[in-house]
Amino acid sequence: MLLVNHIRDQFDVVLAGLQKRNFPDALAVLNQVLALDDQRKTTQTQRDQLQAESNSISKEIGMLMKSGKREEAEQIKARTAQLKQEIKDLDDQNSKAEEELKALLYTIPNIPHSSVASGKSAEDNEVVLEHGVIPNLGEDKLPHWELIKKYDIIDFDLGVKITGAGFPVYKGKGARLQRALINFFLDEALKAGFLEVQPPILVNEDSGYGTGQLPDKEGQMYHATADNLYLIPTAEVPITNLYRDVILSEEDLPIRNVGYTPCFRREAGSWGAHVRGLNRLHQFDKVEIVQITHPDKSYQALEEMISYVQGLLQKLELPYRVLRLCGGDMGFTSALTYDMEVFSAAQERWLEVSSVSNFETYQTNRLKLRFRGEDKKTQLAHSLNGSALALPRIVAAILENNHGPDGIQMPKVLHPYLGFDKI
């Protein structure tokens, strides 16, 4: 959530940032924010003046009572009753203005970093680098949805029977591949200095608002209405919310957490060949890395996270590329996002497997996540997160890029986790 003072002090910068995101009616919305804030301040000033008058009259009544001037004291008591009602009315007005202001701020996305390019869609994203050799599988290439049938390792029909489309059943070596990847990703994160946590996969409304999934992505989340809880779309939500309403010490930073969870996304309106098989699911597994950092060091942390994710892809021997997202394709809460995509040799296209983002103070302002520096003053920390990694498209690329006449060769780094080297 943007800070009102930042909007007021850097109005032109904020406006330009929202326009870079193609945010509709940016000027009108920002002016409305400032008008509501002015209204709130005016009401608060009036309320404080009336409270000061009430306090003064109360002292005067006390002095009159001590002096035995009861009749005069009773005469001005009526004014105190009137002041109390006026103060109450102003408190109600102020609460209403604050709620309207907060609700409006929730609808405004984060301001892009200066390095973010203008653009409207994924087609305008900038390719930063490409790595690895794209395999040539020839005419015998098979997409992963054909391979999983051939080797009977994932069953979509059983998933439909049990739950519905987008909930596959992993079997035999398919299940072992899932477990191997999860353990590999977690072990690599621990080696890199991340602390493993195992958070709940259901979160309350406050947690959804804290990291920005609510109200922006409410329609994409599964909602357990009886208890007003949400199935998580990513481990970012519960892990970052571990630090909601917390004041850290500067010495605690950076905080580096990693967690494995299943993730749930409704993905309403997703149809077509581009979402076939493992390309897009309603339930999938993912290992997530989260950092809470000092504002001066968050972009250094972002670069380190990008390098770390690339290291995982290199160890899995997958060709990949790194993209810096344009303003029109960035997530609602992000200030700067890099996507990592692997090449699917059978589908002949790039598949996103990781997003690494710096949110600056956008989430921490919602979370009231602060740290206290040497001067004992508190300030908002910066939050970052990244997929390290999401499994479905990694599995799809491993299967497609490594299959041959005698089976599917597994990446060497996974052999100790799998107990086999080929499917």
Residue 288 known to bind ligand: yes
Residue 287 known to bind ligand: no
Residue 60 known to bind ligand: no
Q: How many CA atoms lie within 13 A of 24 on its CB side?
A: 1
Q: Which of 18, 37, 236 is nearest to 110 (CA)?
A: 18
Residue 267 known to bind ligand: yes
Residue 234 known to bind ligand: yes
Alpha carbon distance 58, 95 (integer Å) = 26
Two tokens at 178?
């899932």
**What is the number of other CB atoms lying within 10 angstroms of the CB of residue 217?**
17
Residue 298 known to bind ligand: no
**Cα angle 324-326-332, degrees, rounded to a multiple of 5:** 105
CB 353 within 8 A of CB 394: yes
Binding residues: 234, 265-267, 288, 352-355, 385
Binding residues for L-serine: 234, 265, 288, 385
Binding residues for ATP: 265-267, 352-355
